[in-house]
């Protein structure tokens, strides 16, 4: 095997990661938690291959996502062990690590409550005190099935039946789990563990299957890291977009149409501002706005490949005229844009052709996975498809990256880019992939963007760039994607006439930069804690007449501000002025103008969100707002 510093380590055949760590030094062997090799992770107990490049992750890699994952996955097993001891008759389902923690799903004989978590946490505490070590074994499918049947674990039996590849088990204490791993050597590195919540979850995310109880938790390599995390969590709870969305009267969700937000006037302001931004920038960057149907016959999706690959997420519709001809609501805009391109003869002189559309898409997400605005069935992407020649790919990708960077900076979020390259199962020659991957990398380089390469993570039809943003709480969100595609235009038989008078197939860049507007607004609400910047704020200025007598003169300053294009409302004097000022703070309104005996158009009392106060004339105030709106 080969170490990160390129030195080679000679080991006997079949030596494991742990053997290698021991050969390097006892300290490393003690602190090692995982082997990382070519971006994959591997259990320390597994044999290494000859010439395999290897990096050891240790307890010192306390912020590394893979190192945290193995710690948390092991913690999930400790949770299952504790629950089984405390609740005889409980059935265990699955317990993976997730971002920021882990969970385990259980089928309890009697429902448990939030208060019970303390007891379970104490039991895990005892396990940690005693110490646990994990052992791994590989057994046959039949053996595993018999074993879980004997233990009365029907969920595990089902998992064994549907599992792909070899079956492995991990045991710690008196608990054995069906698990691929990897796991820690023992529980010593788990320095801080906390159970964070309880939720219902359907078995396999399917609402027709039994509902299980999901226990969430998190774990860290140090107590300080856990404390910092809990603080961030508390802040995130305060900013929950579902709570703020209601309090700020932005939107609501209803069982009448699950996963499809109802936008209230305030929310619609934010929506339209983002739409305006999208339109303005698309225009400036040479995109053409188009509009394509919501409903297509199923043949269209057969051609596009969505029927084969995405059918489970589509809503099907029938017409009263024909039962043979089935329709479906579009889950993506691509088929419509392909048909639009194919509706006319195209020449190389027409390219690049950039079609932009933000129409409504429907995706049949499972009810159990819906989550506020973050996971919806009614999706509105800031979508576009760029039809271009091979030579134009780099320039077009550059344009998308430039657009994305502009947008993310506008919202004060840090952007992170990932370049996903050819997967094992792919179409097209290696030369072709060499060319397209190099074009994407060149565009990233030219835009001076640092990025991470995700080997093998591209779609089978082309490489892609994933765009992530980090919000003020340090949470990373996958936003848009820039995807190169040579296949869909072929499937639709699209061509353009080249300078050589021969018909060529265009390339297509699928790109959405903010992702879905629904989800993006959800993220923005949490990122800003509901205190939108001036240009996005549903109400930008609230005028508060102190008493009835001030209502009329106060209204006289409203009109010119509205004419200047600002969103201004008036807080009627039905409550005390103190109460109304407090309400404006809760409504997170950027500017409040209090109008009493001493105020006039020459001298207004302005209160800024966040505490600033000033005396300004109407003209001065209007001039200030004009600079903020720009
Ligand atoms: Zn596991
Ligand atoms: Zn597309």
The predicted-structure confidence for 390-401, as pLDDT tens digits, reads as follows: 999 999 999 999
Distance 27 CA to ligand 1 centre (A): 26
Share of the chain above pLDDT 70, in %: 100
pLDDT tens digits for range 260-281: 999 999 999 999 999 999 999 9
- Which bound ligand lies closest to the C-alpha atom of 305? 2
pLDDT at residue 39, as a whole number: 74
Dist. CA 502 → ligand 1 center (Å): 57
Task: Please determine, for residue 91, whether its predicted confidence score (pLDDT) is greater than 90.
Answer: yes
- The ligand with the least distance to the CA atom of 480 is 2
Which residues are in the CB-under-5-Å shell of ion ligand 2?
334, 510
Please indicate whether residue 378 is annotated as part of the active site. Answer: no
Q: Which ligand is nearest to the CA of 81?
A: 1
Question: Which ligand has an atom closest to residue 78 CA?
Answer: 1
- Residue 256 a catalytic site member: no
DSSP letter (8 states) at residue 391: G
Q: Which two tokens stand for residue 393?
A: 């790919």
CA contacts within 13 A on the Cβ side of 443:
28
Q: Which is nearest to 519 in space by CA: 241, 206, 301, 231?
A: 241
Please tell me the predicted confidence (pLDDT) of residue 630.
64
Q: What is the mean pLDDT of residues 577-597?
A: 95
Given 337, 464, 542, 607, the catalytic residue: 464
Over pLDDT 90: what percentage of the chain? 85
Ligand nearest, relative to CA of residue 306: 2
Ligand 1: centre distance to CA 157 (Å)? 15
Calculate how far, in angstroms, residue 348's C-alpha sits from the geometric centre of ligand 2: 21
- Catalytic-residue membership of 306: no
Q: Judging by beta carbons within 10 Å of its beta carbon (0-12, 13-18, 19+), is residue 19 exposed, middle or buried?
A: middle
Q: Which residue among 229, 385, 426, 580 is the active-site one?
A: 385
The whole-angstrom separation of Cα 246 and Cα 281 is: 30
Q: Known catalytic residue: 510?
A: yes
d(C-alpha 520, C-alpha 91), whole Å = 38
512: preceding bond cis by omega (within 30 degrees) = no
Give me the pLDDT at residue 495, please.
Answer: 97
| pTM of the shown model | 0.77
Cα of 14 vs centre of ligand 1, distance in Å, is 24
CA 315 vs CA 325, 326, 357, 535: distances in Å: 15, 11, 20, 36
Taking each helix axis as running N to C, give the angle between helix 65-86 and helix 116-130, from 0 to 180 degrees, rounded to the nearest 10.
Answer: 110
- Average pLDDT of the residues of the chain: 94
The predicted structure's pLDDT at residue 205: 85
DSSP 141-159: HHHHHHHHHHTT-HHHHHH
Active site residue 385: yes
* CA distance linking residue 412 with residue 255, whole number of Å: 34
How far apart are the CA of 32 and the centre of ligand 1, in A?
19
Catalytic residue among 43, 66, 177, 383: 383
Residue 366: Cβ-neighbour burial (10 angstroms; 0-12, 13-18, 19+): middle
Query: Residue 152's CB: how many other CB atoms inside 10 A?
Result: 10
Structure tokens at 368: 């159990």
If you measure from the C-alpha of residue 6 to the centroid of ligand 2, how many angstroms do you get, rounded to a whole number? 42
Q: How far, in Å, is the centroid of ligand 1 from the Cα of 177?
A: 6
Name which residue leads in pLDDT, 459 or 528.
528
Task: Phi first, then psi: give them for residue 299, nearest 5 degrees.
Answer: -55, -35
Give the number of other Cβ atoms within 10 Å of residue 589's Cβ.
Answer: 24
List 363, 377, 422, 566, catalytic entry: 363
pLDDT of residue 605: 95
**Gap from CA of 59 to ligand 1 centroid (Å):** 19
Q: 295: CA distance to ligand 2 center in Å?
A: 16
430-444 pLDDT, tens digit per residue, is 998 999 999 999 999
CA of 619 to the centre of ligand 1 (A): 66
pLDDT grade, residue 169 (50/70/90)?
very high
What's the rounded Cα separation, in Å, for the pair 240 and 527? 10
Handedness of CA 514, 516, 517, 519 (dihedral sign): negative
Active-site pick, 145, 172, 177, 334: 334
pLDDT score at 315: 95
Residue 38 known to be catalytic: no
Q: How far is the CA of 66 from the centre of ligand 1 (A)?
A: 14
Q: What mean pLDDT is predicted for residues 315-342?
A: 92
Answer whether 568's CB lies under 8 Å from 541's CB: yes
Q: Is 464 one of the catalytic residues?
A: yes
């Amino acid at each position: 095997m080969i170490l990160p510093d390129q030195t080679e380590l000679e080991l006997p055949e079949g030596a494991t990661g742990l053997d290698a760590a021991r050969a390097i030094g006892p300290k490393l062997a003690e602190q090692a938690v995982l082997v990382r090799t070519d971006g994959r992770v591997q259990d320390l107990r597994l044999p290494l291959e000859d010439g395999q490049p290897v990096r050891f992750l240790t307890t010192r890699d306390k912020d590394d996502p893979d190192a945290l994952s193995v710690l948390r996955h092991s913690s999930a097993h400790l949770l299952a062990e504790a629950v089984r001891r405390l609740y005889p008759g409980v059935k265990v389902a699955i317990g993976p690590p997730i971002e920021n923690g882990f969970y385990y799903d259980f089928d309890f004989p009697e429902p448990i409550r939030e208060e019970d978590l303390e007891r379970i946490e104490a039991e895990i505490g005892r396990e940690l005190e005693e110490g646990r070590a994990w052992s791994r074994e590989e057994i046959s499918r039949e053996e595993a099935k018999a074993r879980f049947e004997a233990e009365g674990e029907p969920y595990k039996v089902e998992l064994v039946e549907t599992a792909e590849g070899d079956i492995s088990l991990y045991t710690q204490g008196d608990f054995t789990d069906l698990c691929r791993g990897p796991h820690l050597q023992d529980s010593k590195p788990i320095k801080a563990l906390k159970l964070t919540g309880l939720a219902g979850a359907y078995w396999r995310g399917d609402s027709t299957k039994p509902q299980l109880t999901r226990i969430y938790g998190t774990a860290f390599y140090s107590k300080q890291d856990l404390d910092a995390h809990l603080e961030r969590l508390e802040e995130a709870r305060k900013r929950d977009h579902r709570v703020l969305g209601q309090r700020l009267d932005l939107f609501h969700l209803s069982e009448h149409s699950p996963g499809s937000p109802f936008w209230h006037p305030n929310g619609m302001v934010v929506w339209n501002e983002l739409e305006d931004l999208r339109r303005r920038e698309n225009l400036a960057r040479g995109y053409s706005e188009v509009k394509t149907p919501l409903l297509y016959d199923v043949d269209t999706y057969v051609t596009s490949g969505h029927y084969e690959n995405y059918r489970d997420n589509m809503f099907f519709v029938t017409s009263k005229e024909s039962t043979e001809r089935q329709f479906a609501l579009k889950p993506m805009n691509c088929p419509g844009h392909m048909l639009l391109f194919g509706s006319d003869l195209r020449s190389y002189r027409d390219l690049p052709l950039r079609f932009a559309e933000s129409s409504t898409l429907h995706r049949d997400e499972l009810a159990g996975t819906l989550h506020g605005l973050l996971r919806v069935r009614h999706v509105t992407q800031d979508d576009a498809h760029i039809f271009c020649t091979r030579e134009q790919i780099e320039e077009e990708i550059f344009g998308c990256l430039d657009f994305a960077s502009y947008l993310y900076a506008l919202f004060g979020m840090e952007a992170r880019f990932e370049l996903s390259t050819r997967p094992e199962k792919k179409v097209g020659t290696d030369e072709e992939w060499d060319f397209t991957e190099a074009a994407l990398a060149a565009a990233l380089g030219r835009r001076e963007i640092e990025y991470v390469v995700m080997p093998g993570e591209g779609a089978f039809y082309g490489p892609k760039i994933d765009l992530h943003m980090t919000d003020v709480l340090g949470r990373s969100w996958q936003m848009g994607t820039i995807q190169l595609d040579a296949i869909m235009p072929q499937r639709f038989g699209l061509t353009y006439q080249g300078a050589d008078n021969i018909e060529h197939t265009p390339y297509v860049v699928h790109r959405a930069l903010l992702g879905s507007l629904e989800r993006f607004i959800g993220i923005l609400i949490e990122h800003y804690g509901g205190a939108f910047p001036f240009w996005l704020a549903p109400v930008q200025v609230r005028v508060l007449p102190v008493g009835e007598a001030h209502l009329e003169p106060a209204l006289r300053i409203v009109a010119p501000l509205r004419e200047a294009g600002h969103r201004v409302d008036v807080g009627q004097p039905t409550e005390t002025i103190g109460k109304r000022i407090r309400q404006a703070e809760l409504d997170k309104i950027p500017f409040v103008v209090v109008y009493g005996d001493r105020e006039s158009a020459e001298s207004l009392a302005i209160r800024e969100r966040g505490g600033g106060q000033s005396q300004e004339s109407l003209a001065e105030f209007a001039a200030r707002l004009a600079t903020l709106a720009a």
